[in-house]
Amino acid sequence: MAAPESVPLDTAVIREAARWLVRLHSGEAGPEDHAAFERWRHTSPERELAWQRAQLLSKQFGAVPPALGVPLLTRQQKTNRRAVIRTLASLGVALPAAWLGYRHLAGPGGEDYRTAVGESRDMVLADGSHVHLNTDTGLDVLYSEHSRLLHLRGGEIYVRTAADRQGRARPFFIETPQGRMRALGTRFVVRQWNDGEAMTSLSVQEHRVEVSLHGGGAARIVNAGESLSFTASAFKASLPASRNAPGWTRGIIEANNLRLDAFLDELSRYRPGVIRCDPAVAGLRVSGVFRLDDTDAVLAIVAETLGVRVTSRTRYWVTVGARAS
């Protein structure tokens, strides 16, 4: 079989492959983009060869990580725009203006990662640590000679730290507007939320995490099996926490005798719009394991098992209330 770079290909197909290269490497692509790319790629052998050629050139120029092209991308390297430009020039494609205006860097040596509503992303960082982003999450990764810093701008992350591949003793920090957390060889979850007051929640599955508030005061150690919420000026009560990875990392939501209004609040994080719960049914209890890739199906199951009514004014405005007698 001829090598991908030696097979003549239609210019239009080559340009399509190059545009996919730019889109997928931009960091802005969501699940729908990845699904559309896979459909495009597998509809003809010529498209697959064009994609292989784009990847081959990109790797030669150092433009993209080797994992580019799989459904879930891992952006482990700093973007090399000159390399991308050389790749596209070799493919005979002009660089889109949108790419020229894309701000990839979060700061010197930093990377900016985002997930859309309903999307999650699992990544391996340059030091070997794993970070899983939950729905609607923004994260800056800022590594320097002296420290490893994750700045959580919003949403939720599950972190599994690793010994630094570079053999350095660089501390691993997570920063939120409320405080700074130092990982002490561990697995943990950090979430930002607002229940009338901006807070950070920390849940530790393994080892320990040290928490320091931005408003000052003594630091606190959170051990495995514990969770803690805090504002910029105060620690809240410490509570027990599961030592297992959160269900959302496996695409599920778990409920154990959870109030219906609390369950719907959690479910609403994974779909656009609003889910409103009528106070008349808010106290009903939900138990079970539900898939997050079809929230409409979850609402249908809730309606059937609890005997409530789900009314959709639009997909973006759903009300759960009592059934008419």
Which strands, in side-by-side order, build the sheet including 274-277?
Answer: 274-277, 317-322, 308-314
**DSSP tag of 285:** E
Judged by average pLDDT, the poorest of 50-54, 242-246, 256-260, 286-290 is 50-54
Q: Which of 96, 93, 88 lies closest to 12 in space, CA to CA?
A: 93
Look-up: residue for tokens 């001829």? Answer: 2
**Residue 91: its pLDDT value, please?**
53
CA quadruple 221, 227, 232, 236: dihedral positive or negative? negative
For 231, residues 6+ apart whose C-beta sits below 8 A from its C-beta are 178, 197, 198, 199, 200, 213, 215
**Residue 36: its pLDDT value, please?**
82
The average pLDDT across 217-237 equals 93
Exposure of 34 in the CB half-sphere (CA atoms within 13 A): 16
263-297 per-position pLDDT tens digit:
999 999 999 999 999 999 999 999 999 999 999 99
Task: Select 251-322's CATH number: 3.40.718.10, 3.40.50.720, 3.90.1150.10, 3.55.50.30.
Answer: 3.55.50.30
pLDDT band at 26 (very low <50, low <70, confident <90, very high): low
The full set of domain ranges for the chain reads 1-102, 105-246, 251-322
Architecture of domain 105-246: Sandwich (2.60)
pLDDT band at 64 (very low <50, low <70, confident <90, very high): very low
User: Over 50: is that where the pLDDT of 40 sits?
Assistant: yes
